Structure 1
Amino acid sequence: MTLQRRILILVTAVVLLSAVGVIAVVRASSRADEKDRARPGGPEVTRGEVSLTPADGAPRIVLRNMAWGPHRDELVTVPAASPGGPRTASGVSCLRFHSAAGTGVCLQAEKGGVQEQYRAVVLDAHLKVVSSHPLAGIPTRARVSPGGHLAAWTVFVGGDSYAGTNFSTRTSLLDLRTGRYDASLEDFTIVKDGKAYRNADVNFWGVTFAADEQTFYATLATGGQTYLVRGDLTARTVTTLRENLECPSLSPDGTRLVFKKRVPGLSADAPWRLYALDLATMKETPLAEQRSVDDQVVWKDDRTVVYALPGDFGADLYALPADGTGTPAPLMTSALAPAFLGS
C-alpha cells in the first residue's frame, strides 16, 4: 500500500469519526431539548399572542415564565380563573416585569458583549417597545402606576441581595405623559423628621404608585435603618413615615400597604416577614406567612396578595389573605413577577 493511499484512508477515518461525534451531540441536544419541553409535571407552554389588554375582557395574568424549555424567561399569559393551565408565550423576555392599564415595563438582559448589560423597556398593550433606557446594574424591582402613566424600576449597582448591608441601589422614575425621566430618586428632596436630609449612604427601592398618578411610596435606607417614604412627583419630595419597612405594595383601594419587615431573631439570610399597614391608623398586622419573603408583593384584588418564593425552577407564586387570616396557598409553579390584568 502506498503512502498516499494510507494518508487517504487515515483522513477518511478522521472525517467519519468527526461526523459520528457531531451526530451524537446533535441527537443528545435534541433529546435534552425535548425533555425540557415536556418535563413531567411542568406547565404546558406554547407560542401565541399576548396582550396587556385582553380582547375578551376576561381577567388574565401576565408573568415571567420560569419553566425550563424554549420559552423560559418569556412573558406568558394565563386566564386568572385557571392559573395552573396552559401558558401562551409572547417571545419577549424579561427579568422583572409589571403592567397596568395597557402599559408594561420589562427589565431585560441585553444580548452580546463581553459584560452583561441591562435595559428597561416600556411596552404598549401589544408588547411593542415604546422607549428604552439603559440600566446601571442588576434588575430587581419594577412597577407601573394604576393608570399606566408612570413607571419605576430599581437595580443593584453594588451587591445583589437586600439581606445584608453591603449593597447599593438606584431607582428611576419615568412619566409617560411628559417624558420626564428621573434617573435616580436620590435627586428628590428627602424630608426626615420634618427637616431636609442628605447623606451619601441613601438608597431607595420598591416604588408603589397611588391611583392619583402623583403620589408614590417606597423604601429609603440610610444610617443602617429602612424607612417607608411617601413621594410627591410635583414637589419632588419624599417624606419619611415609619421605620423598618421594605418593598411596600399599595392596595387597589389605596388604604393599605403590604410590606416585608425585618424581625429580630430570624436568620440574617432570611430576616423578613410579611405585614400589612393600615394607612389611616398606621396599625401593623402580621400576615399568615411564616417563611421569609424577599419580594415586593402584588395585589390580586383588595383582599389577596401574591408573592414569589424559591422553587424547583427558580420561583413559585403563592397567594395569601391581606388581613392576617388564612394560610398561604400555592398559585403557580415556575413563575415570577405577575401582573393581574382586567380584574
Structure 2
Amino acid sequence: MTLRSRILILASALAVLAAIALASVLHASARAERRDHTQAGGPRITPGTVTLTTPGRMIFRNMAWGPHRDELTTTPVSAPSGPRTASGVKCLRFYAAAGTGVCLQAVHGPVSDTYRALILDAHLKERAHYDVPGIPSRARVSPSGHYAAWTAFVGGDSYAGTNFSTRTAIVDTRTGALTPSLEEFRIVKDGRTYHAADVNFWGVTFASDDTTFYATLATKGSTYLIRGNLRTRTVTTLHPNVECPSLSPDGTRIAYKKRVKGLPKDAPWRLYVLNLKTMRETPLAEPRSVDDQAVWKDTHTVVYALPGDYGADLYEVPANGSGVPHRLLTSGVSAAFLK
C-alpha cells in the first residue's frame, strides 16, 4: 500500500468520525430542545387541530423552545397556562377575527430572509399571500374579517428612536384589493390637507363598520392618533402622542402606548386608555415600558407582551387604571381572543 493510499484512508476515516460526532451532537441538541420547557415546568405542547372559530379560546405565537417554537398555539381563555395545542403554522405576528387570520411570516432564503403576509381561513389554510417589504411589526383583522392590515419596518427595527420608517398596508380579504401603503391616503391635520416627506403610519386597528380604522401617524418628531376612512381614503388626526392604538370591543376607547417624559430613550412608553368621546386619558397600572400593540381580552381587560425568558410573556391589566398587572402566560406573544 502506497503512502498516498494510507493518507486517503486515514482522511476518510477521520471524516467519518467527524460526521458521527456531529450527528451525535445534533441529535443530543434536538433531544434537549424537545425536552426543554416541559421538563423544566413549562407548558406542555402537543400538535393538533387549531381553528379560528372556537369561542372561548386564545391563539398566540408560541415562544417556548422546542419543536413548536413560533407556531400558532391555542389554549382556553379560562386556562391560559394549561396545555397548548400547536397548529404547525409559524408566524412572527398574528391576529384573527370572524374566522379570518393574518400571519406575517419569514421566508428563509440562501442569502437573507424575505417576508410575506398570509391571509388564513378558519382552518389556518392560506387564502392569499402578499409580499411584505421589511421586518413585520404589527398585524390586525377587522371585527368582520373583511379587512386585514400589517406594518413592517422598511428602515430601522425599533420604534424607540427616530431613525426608522414603516410601511402599513390594508387588504380587502374578500376581493384581494390591496392598499400597499397608507401614505396613499389624504391626510387632514388641524383641519387642513397635510403633506410631508417624513410621514409614517403604523398599528392599524379596525372599527366594526368596515369603514373606520385608527392608526398612528408620525411626522416632524411627533405622533398622532388618526381616524381613517376606507371609502374616502382619508385620515384625520385626533389626539397627540398615541402609538399602536387598539380599539375596544365596544368601539368607545383606545388602548395605546404613550411616550412619557423622563423615561429612558430605549424604554419610553407607558400604557394608557383614551376615551374617544371625551378624549380623557387614563394611565393603566402597568409600571413597565410596553412596546406592543395591546389587545382587548374583553371590554374590561387589556393584554400585552413584555420581555421574558423565552422572548416574551403575555400580561393583562384592567382597562380603567385600577388593579395590578398579572402575567397571563409565559413564552407567548401576538394573541387573539376568539369570540
The TM-score bracket by the shorter chain reads over 0.9
| Counterpart-to-counterpart distance in 2, 1:138 and 1:7 | 53
| Counterpart-to-counterpart distance in 2, 1:298 and 1:224 | 26
Which of 157, 162, 174 lines up with 2:171 in the alignment? Answer: 174
| Counterpart-to-counterpart distance in 1, 2:180 and 2:196 | 18
1:17 is displaced (CA, Å) by: 3.3
Q: Which residue of 1 aligns with 2:188?
A: 191
| Counterpart-to-counterpart distance in 1, 2:334 and 2:116 | 17
Matched letter for residue 170 of structure 1:
R
Give the share of equivalent positions with the same residue, in percent. Answer: 62
Confirm whether residue 33 of structure 1 aligns to residue 47 of structure 2.
Answer: no
Q: Which residue of 2 aligns with 1:75?
A: 72
Q: Which residue of 1 aligns with 2:306?
A: 309
1:34 is displaced (CA, Å) by: 1.4
Q: Which residue of 1 aligns with 2:228?
A: 231
Confirm whether residue 88 of structure 1 aligns to residue 82 of structure 2.
Answer: no
Which of 212, 215, 224 lines up with 1:215 in the alignment? Answer: 212
1:133 is displaced (CA, Å) by: 0.5
How does 1:95-106 map onto structure 2 within 5 Å?
95-106=92-103
Q: Which residue of 1 aligns with 2:45?
A: 45
Q: Which residue of 2 aligns with 1:322?
A: 319
Cα distance per residue 1:6-42 (max 9 Å; x no partner): 6555544443333232222222211211111122132
Q: Which range moved further: 33-42 or 251-260?
A: 33-42
Residue 300 of structure 1 aligns to a residue in which SS?
Answer: strand
How does 1:197-208 map onto structure 2 within 5 Å?
197-208=194-205
Q: TM-score, normalised by structure 2?
A: 0.96
Which of 293, 301, 312 lines up with 1:296 in the alignment? Answer: 293
How does 1:152-171 map onto structure 2 within 5 Å?
152-171=149-168
Residue 25 of structure 2 aligns to a residue in which SS?
Answer: helix
Cα distance per residue 1:234-255 (max 9 Å; x no partner): 1111000011111010010111
| Counterpart-to-counterpart distance in 2, 1:181 and 1:15 | 57
Cα distance per residue 1:222-277 (max 9 Å; x no partner): 11110000011111110000111110100101111110000000000000000011
Structure 2: stretches of 5+ with no match in the other structure: none
Structure 1: stretches of 5+ with no match in the other structure: none
| Counterpart-to-counterpart distance in 1, 2:67 and 2:10 | 36
> Number of matched residues?
336
Cα distance per residue 1:161-212 (max 9 Å; x no partner): 0000000001001112343210000100101001111111000000000111
Q: Which residue of 2 aligns with 1:255?
A: 252
1:80 is displaced (CA, Å) by: 1.4
Matched letter for residue 43 of structure 1:
P
Cα distance per residue 1:306-329 (max 9 Å; x no partner): 100111111111011111001110
| Counterpart-to-counterpart distance in 2, 1:341 and 1:37 | 29
Which stretches of structure 1, 4 residues or longer, exceed 3 Å deviation after superposition? 6-17
| Counterpart-to-counterpart distance in 2, 1:134 and 1:94 | 14
| Counterpart-to-counterpart distance in 1, 2:5 and 2:326 | 68
Residue 12 of structure 2 aligns to a residue in which SS?
Answer: helix
Residue 298 of structure 2 aligns to a residue in which SS?
Answer: coil
Q: Which range moved further: 43-52 or 160-169?
A: 43-52
Q: Which range moved further: 214-223 or 175-184?
A: 175-184
**Contact in 1 for aligned 2:119/2:173 (Cα 8 Å):** no
| Counterpart-to-counterpart distance in 2, 1:204 and 1:102 | 26
Cα-Cα RMSD: 1.3
